[in-house]
Amino acid sequence: MAAKIKIAVIGLKGLPAFGGAAAVGENIINELKSEFDFTVFSVASHTSLKTGNYNGVKQIVFKNHGTGGLNTLLYYIKSLLYCFFKQSFHLIHLHHAESGFITPFLRLKNPVIVTFHGVHKEKSPKFNSLQNKFFSWSEKQNVRWANQVISVSKPDTEFILKKYNKNITHIPNGITITNHPKNVKTGKDEYILFAAARVFEIKGLHILLQALHKIKFQGKLTVVGDIDQVPSYKQKILQLSIGLNIEYIGLIKEKNKLFNYVREAKLFIFPSLTEAMSMMLLEVVSQKTPVIASDIPSNKAILDDSQILFFENKNADDLADKIMFALNNPSPMEQRAENAYTHVVKSYTWQLIANTYKNIFNENLNQPSPKPTQPPTN
C-alpha cells in the first residue's frame, strides 16, 4: 500500500477549530484525512490541546506569545522553520491572504496552495496603519508566489483579477448537514440572535443596536461572541445597549451549543459590513432559522431574495424596517428559510467542496518550482 501524501496545514492555528477560517480548514481535513496525511500547525493561544493526534490528525502546538500580532507573526515563522528543517512534506496548504510573507520560502521546497478567507480591499479598523500595509504587501506575495490561490469568495476572485491581473480559483465554504428538527422551541425565552466569533466594527453589531432603538424593540436580543477584541468598539456597543434587553453570551466554541441558540432564535440578524464568505451565515441557514442580512456582494453571491431578507448595508433605518416586517410576517420568513436550506444542501456540502480540494492537491504535487507564477501588475 502506497504511503499517503504528506500535507502541512498552516494558518488554522488550532484544533478543534473556532472561527470561520479554521472551521473551513478542519472540515476539509476531516473529509480528506483518509486519503492524505495532514499535519496541522497550531499555537497554544488557539487550542487547549498539546502536540499529538487529534481526531486522526497530527497537530503540532507551538508556545504562544500573548494573543496579538506578535503571536501570529511568530506562529507563521515557527511553522516555516518546522517545514524547512524538521519534517519533509509533499505539499503545503496555507490559509489567509496575509500569510504570504512566508510563501516564497516555502516554495523553495514545496508546492504551496493558499486559501484566501478575505482580501485587503480597505484598511481594517482592527489593525493599525503599519499592520494594514504589511498585510496588503503579504497578500501580494501570495498572489505572486503560490502555485495556486483559492478564494472562498466569488467577489474576491473578481477583485484579485482586477487588482493583480491574476485569475485565482473560487471554492466556496460549506456546511455539515445535521439531523436536528427546525425550531423545536421551548417557548420560554424567545429572542433574536446576533453571533460572531470576534465582534468588532465590520461585524455590524452597532447597526443592529441602532435599528432596535429605532423600532423601540421590547423583545430580547442575544449576542454570541467575544466583544473584547477592540476596547473602543466594546464601549460603543455597551453605550448603545442602554435601554435594550440584551444578553451577552460571549464566545461559544462548542458547535452544538451554538446551534442550539441558532435553532431557538426567532430571527438571526447578520449585519456585517464586509465578509469573504461567511461560515456563520451558512451554518445558520443549515439550521433553517430565518435570516436578515446586509446586501453585501458576498452574501448575495450565495443567497437571493427568495431565501433570506436583505437590508441595505450600513443602513440602520432599512434594517429597522426589515426587522419589523420579519416579526410581523413569520410565515414568509419561514418559507425563505426553507428555500435557503434547500439551496445550500444542494450546492455547499463539505463533501463536494473537499473533492475539489483533493483534485487541486493532486494536480499541484509536482510543481515545486520557486519561480513566481505571474507577477502582479501593481
Q: Is residue 52 part of a domain?
A: yes
Q: What is the tens place of the pLDDT at every residue in 105-151?
A: 999 999 999 999 988 776 666 667 788 889 899 999 999 999 999 99
Please compute the mean of the pLDDT values over residues 315-329 and round it to a whole number.
98
Do both 168 and 23 map to the same domain? yes
Distance (Å, rounded) from C-alpha 78 to C-alpha 35?
A: 26
Q: What is the tens place of the pLDDT at every residue in 71-80?
A: 999 999 999 9
Do both 236 and 258 map to the same domain? yes
Domain that holds residue 30: 5-173+350-363
**Phi then psi for 361, rounded to 5 degrees?**
-55, -50
**Phi then psi for 282, rounded to 5 degrees?**
-60, -40
| pTM: predicted TM-score of the whole model, two decimal places | 0.82
Do both 37 and 169 map to the same domain? yes
What does the radius of gyration of the chain's CA atoms come to, in whole angstroms? Answer: 21
Please compute the mean of the pLDDT values over residues 234-260 and round it to a whole number.
94
Q: How far apart, in Å, are the Cα atoms of 250 and each of 24, 226, 271? A: 22, 5, 18
> How would you write 273-339 as a 3-class SS string?
CCCCCCHHHHHHHHCCCCEEEECCHHHHCCCCCCCCEEECCCCHHHHHHHHHHHHHCHHHHHHHHHH
Q: Is residue 71 part of a domain?
A: yes
Q: What is the tens place of the pLDDT at every residue in 276-295?
A: 888 899 999 999 999 999 99
Q: What pLDDT is attached to residue 188?
A: 45
Q: What pLDDT is attached to residue 20?
A: 77
Q: What percent of the chain has pLDDT above 70? A: 91
Pick from 285, 288, 325: which is nearest to 302 by CA?
285
Q: What is the CATH number of the domain that holds 55?
A: 3.40.50.2000
Is a pLDDT exceeding 80 seen at residue 378? no
Pick from 333, 311, 312: which is nearest to 265 by CA?
333
Q: What pLDDT is attached to residue 253?
A: 83
Count how many domains the chain has: 2
Is a pLDDT exceeding 60 seen at residue 369? no
Do both 168 and 226 map to the same domain? no
Q: Is residue 120 part of a domain?
A: yes
Distance (Å, rounded) from C-alpha 56 to C-alpha 59?
A: 10
Pick from 32, 88, 24: which is nearest to 55 by CA?
32
Q: Is residue 274 part of a domain?
A: yes
Do both 340 and 213 map to the same domain? yes
Distance (Å, rounded) from C-alpha 220 to C-alpha 241?
A: 12
Do both 128 and 200 map to the same domain? no
